Amino acid sequence: MTKIIINGYKGRMGQALVHCLPQHQGLELAGRVDAGDDLAAVIGSCDAVIDFSSHATTVQVASLCAQHQKALVIGTTGQSDTETFEIRKLAKAIPMVWTSNFSTGVNTLFWLTRKAAEILGPDFDLEVVEMHHRLKQDAPSGTAKSLAEILADVRKVRLNETARHGRAGIVGARTPGEIGVHSIRGGDVVGDHTVIFANTGERVELAHKASSRDTFANGALRAAAWVVRQPPGIYDMQAVLGLK
């Protein structure tokens, strides 16, 4: 039995994890932690922690996991460069799965986005559009960032130099190299992502729409069962799904 602790269990994703856990044979809940609880007091009882709290907490959680030699599944998004650097350092000591999206469908979208960008080439304008519920804290979504990073990687450019986050005012014509990234917020949308490849006379759109958080929760639980058997390092969902 692999024993897990869910950090952030009272949240939307935490509740989906608690709900989906019984369907995963071989996984057992060793503890549930939320704001105000002490993860350090219970971490000894688990093999892996699944963190869906907040980007601001993840470094602290990773540090505790490294100290106690526990595997970690990171679901939080919105990490700063400093937080990302710290997490990567800690992954030298323990295995982690860290992905902006745990759904099989979105990981297929990642693959298709790379393929389409390679096939369509540099003449197509690239835009990523995402929509999430009104309570989401970070923008753009981690998944939209991952999609834009894939596009930048194929084009061999740096995303921070080419990303265009929204447009307002007399912005002039679109520059050929830019990668548009746009965030829409409203209602209870679980997560929609569209990658647009637009050229004169034609347009390709790749879209994914999540209608239940269970798809992310089941992916994260599958990742927890997998990560405890890995050597230290950072892995993504493609590795968990055996696509690498």
Ligand X SMILES: NC(=O)c1ccc[n+]([C@@H]2O[C@H](COP(=O)([O-])OP(=O)(O)OC[C@H]3O[C@@H](n4cnc5c(N)ncnc54)[C@H](O)[C@@H]3O)[C@@H](O)[C@H]2O)c1
Query: What are the residue numbers of the active site?
Result: 132, 136
Which CB sits closer to ligand X, 18 or 159? Answer: 18
On whether the CB atoms of residues 234 and 98 are closer than 8 A, the answer is yes
Q: With respect to ligand X, which residue has the nearer C-beta, 52 or 235?
A: 52
Q: Does 52 bind ligand X (CB under 6 A)?
A: yes
Phi and psi at residue 30, to the nearest 5°: -95, -20
Contact between 34 and ligand X (CB under 6 A)?
Answer: yes
CB of 215 to ligand X, least distance (A): 8
Query: Kind and range of the H or E element at 152?
Result: helix 142-155
Complex with ligand X: residue 34 or 83, whichever CB lies closer: 34
**Cβ-Cβ contacts under 8 Å for 232 (sequence gap 6 or more):** 91, 92, 93, 94, 95
104 binds ligand X (CB under 6 A): no
Q: Which two tokens stand for residue 224?
A: 């927890």
Give residue for tokens 């295995």.
95
Q: In this structure, what is the dihedral angle of CA atoms 154, 155, 158, 160, given to the nearest 10 degrees?
A: -100
Residue in 21, 47, 48, 53 binding ligand X, rule: CB under 6 A: 53
- Element containing residue 170 per DSSP (H, E): none
Q: Give the one residue of 46, 65, 94, 101 binding ligand X; rule: CB under 6 A.
A: 101
216 near ligand X (CB under 6 A): yes
Residue 21 structure tokens: 């856990």
Q: Which is nearer to ligand X, 2 or 100 (CB)?
A: 100
Q: Is 140 an interacting residue with respect to ligand X (CB under 6 A)?
A: no
Question: Residue 13 CB, nearest distance to ligand X (Å)?
Answer: 3
Is 78 among the residues that bind ligand X (CB under 6 A)? yes
- Contact positions with ligand X (CB under 6 A) in 145-204: none
Cα distances from 119 to residues 30, 116, 122, 160, in angstroms, run 47, 5, 9, 24
Q: Which residues bind ligand X (CB under 6 A)?
A: 7-8, 10-14, 33-35, 52-55, 57, 75-78, 99-102, 138, 216
